[in-house]
Chain A
């Protein structure tokens, strides 16, 4: 019988059915960070339980650490970082902490270390674990109680989800990136449109993406509600598996990690690649976006009173007026970083725009490479010099930083940020901070213009 890639992955990892309708699925590899794991370890201790299989876990410091130096910036963050290290020492778990040459944002570190390969099942206490679908692996975010469950049993209780295929065929125009593709999908499907679904991205526009682009797409699939995102493994994937410290150590046979040609999905969405433009968000939900050439919506664009009220609320928070052109939105800050867009490929794209240009007067511009290895590579390629010549602050340490502002990189009340990150929620980058999501190249363009700007005008 024909099966989807998602069903193949679930079938391959099913341990047993449970009487209440759930199943237990096996977790091949589990990643932890310092902020969603402490209570999982204390739960183990309270129940007197050991870690089931210590070598199948990796802990990385990334969410709360400062990126100006490898010293914690305050006592509270130090407590979380030290707590993770001592839990890992106690339970004999691999720990990539501050100062370790392998440290960085977990979802940047894992592929860089060769720790994701097609056919794996990966869990992590972070919603953006959907990133690993780019490799034909099943990755998904879990809560802290589930982190405890994985530590103690190497499994999770699981319900099979429905399947959705998002087909994006046709060549995308110059200036359109993987970030624009996924922002378009979020706009079309809606912020909760894929709740309860595992989403497979297919079509020529997806196949033509490199692995960094595929990771950007799968990473932000959670913003449409998808608990899992997948892209079939192909020759691009195979090529990306070589040359890392864990390369050749693992293999997952037994299946071809793509959907069978006749596989049936519960839902299908089609988007024409040629219709996608560079997008920016104007509101406080990732699906509130418009092409950079367009304007902020007006109340008459919506029918229901609820939608009109939501528009008014978002515009009020964002300090924008109905119908304002996207390019008239002036920014205070430009931020390039996050698990969505801080890989070497992202930095190269932004540097292309910045080369020979200057950040506009009054704009604070920051770039935080996704990992220590990414930073070193970028410096060797001369990217740091380009960013610094343009007026960007080049951060020496890696982390999530201003994507969620759990460290000391916090946007002020009313501060407007052009951001290569994944969420424009109220208060996400700081209480009262206003976030506009876009591709790294578009952030670079905005930093130079001093307002949201069309990257296609920067030849």
Chain B
């Protein structure tokens, strides 16, 4: 089941990850995808950035350095989460303890996957992002106010964008599948209006 707690504020150490176009192959390499559960993906998250070929931590990677080993927020480059639809990328980030990624743009499927798993993706201007990258690099604590759509870090106070449905979903931590089944009547009405040739039936 989804995390049901009301989560209006996300607060913590933020790690700067300024690379653009960080794709889901980099977030969760394919060798961790051969699984039928959602669990056990923390080690796979950013594995090729965090660990060398022998499995040792790469000391120069931000999440391997104090204080960012404690980071629960990432400040990221443009177009974060592009590529494959694998929700494993988001599951892994959550299992690694990441609650939010602040960036200028996110790939569409990644954005929707994040919402389903309580990972907040506040969208800010490039100027704000660059300021936050700097603050994060200095080890500053960042606070994300989901209800007020505001980010604060030291002297920085900036608004962020988030569509209303995603904001509600993150705060309420609801289960979309069960929620949508409350509209079963509307779905049946829609189906009743379909001509028979519009009902796909796959040959087994």
Chain A positions within 8 Å of B, measured between CB atoms, are 15-16, 18, 20-22, 24, 26, 28-29, 35-36, 38-39, 42-43, 46-47, 49, 52-53, 55-58, 64, 76-77, 79-80, 83, 94-95, 113, 115, 120, 125-127, 141-146, 148-149, 152-155, 157, 159, 161, 191-192, 195-196, 223, 225, 227, 245-246, 249-253, 285, 306, 310, 313, 404-406, 413, 423, 425-428, 431-432
Contact = CB atoms under 8 A, between A and B. Distances in A.
Given A56-B200, A80-B36, A153-B180, 6 more contacts: A47-B177, A57-B202, A145-B177, A245-B203, A249-B201, A431-B53
B53 A76 contact: no
Nearest to A313: B19
B83 A425 contact: yes
B137 interface: no
B25 A142 contact: no
Interface string B104-121: 011111001100110000
A306 B77 CA distance: 10
A152 B182 CA distance: 12
A20 B168 contact: yes
B109 A157 contact: no
9 contacts: A39-B87, A80-B36, A142-B85, A143-B87, A145-B113, A152-B180, A157-B180, A192-B82, A425-B83
A73 to B, nearest CB: 11
A21 B169 CA distance: 11
Interface stretch (B4-12, B27-35, B62-70, B146-154): B27-35
A195 B108 CA distance: 6
Contacts, number: 210
Interface in B5-45: 18-21, 23, 25-26, 29-31, 33-38
B109 A143 contact: yes
Interface string B44-68: 0000100001000000000000000
A440 B181 CA distance: 45
Contacts of B83: 127, 423, 425
Contacts of A127: 83-85, 109
A144 B89 CA distance: 11
A195 B79 contact: yes
Interface of B: 1, 18-21, 23, 25-26, 29-31, 33-38, 48, 53, 78-79, 82-87, 90, 105-109, 112-113, 116-117, 163-165, 168-169, 175-178, 180-181, 183-184, 186-187, 190-191, 195, 197-204
A115 B200 contact: yes
Nearest to A43: B177
A149 B112 CA distance: 12
A306 B20 contact: yes
Nearest to B184: A153
Main secondary structure of the interface of A (DSSP, over half): loop
B180 A405 contact: no
Nearest to A196: B108
B201 to A, nearest CB: 4
B34 A18 contact: no
Contacts of A146: 112-113, 116
B176 A157 contact: yes
Contacts of A64: 34
B200 A29 contact: yes
Given A143-B116, A146-B116, A39 B37 contact: yes
Contacts of B190: 15-16, 26
Contacts of B201: 55-56, 249
Given A49-B177, A157-B165, A191 B87 contact: no
Contact of B109 (A16, A28, A142, A432): A142
A192 B177 contact: no
Contacts of A21: 163-165
Contacts of B21: 191-192, 285
A24 B48 contact: no
Contacts of A80: 34, 36
A53 B202 CA distance: 11
Question: Which 6 pairs, one residue from A and one from B, show the smallest C-beta to C-beta distance?
Answer: A192-B79, A38-B36, A143-B113, A145-B116, A143-B87, A227-B108
B39 to A, nearest CB: 10
Contacts of A227: 108-109
Interface centre among A24, A39, A126, A148 (most CB of B within 10 A): A39
Contacts of A310: 19-20
Given A149-B177, A192-B107, A404 B84 contact: yes
B187 A15 contact: yes
Given A42-B36, A425-B23, A195 B106 contact: yes
A422 B84 CA distance: 11
Contact of B18 (A113, A253, A306): A306
Given A77-B34, A94-B204, A143-B112, A426 B25 contact: yes
Contacts of A431: 29, 31, 48, 53
A49 B190 CA distance: 21
B165 A55 contact: no
A156 B186 CA distance: 13
Contacts of A413: 53
B202 A56 contact: yes
B168 to A, nearest CB: 5
B82 to A, nearest CB: 6
B161 to A, nearest CB: 11
Contacts of B165: 18, 20-22, 157, 159
Contacts of B33: 35, 406
Given A56-B200, A143-B85, A42 B180 contact: no
Contacts of A28: 198, 200
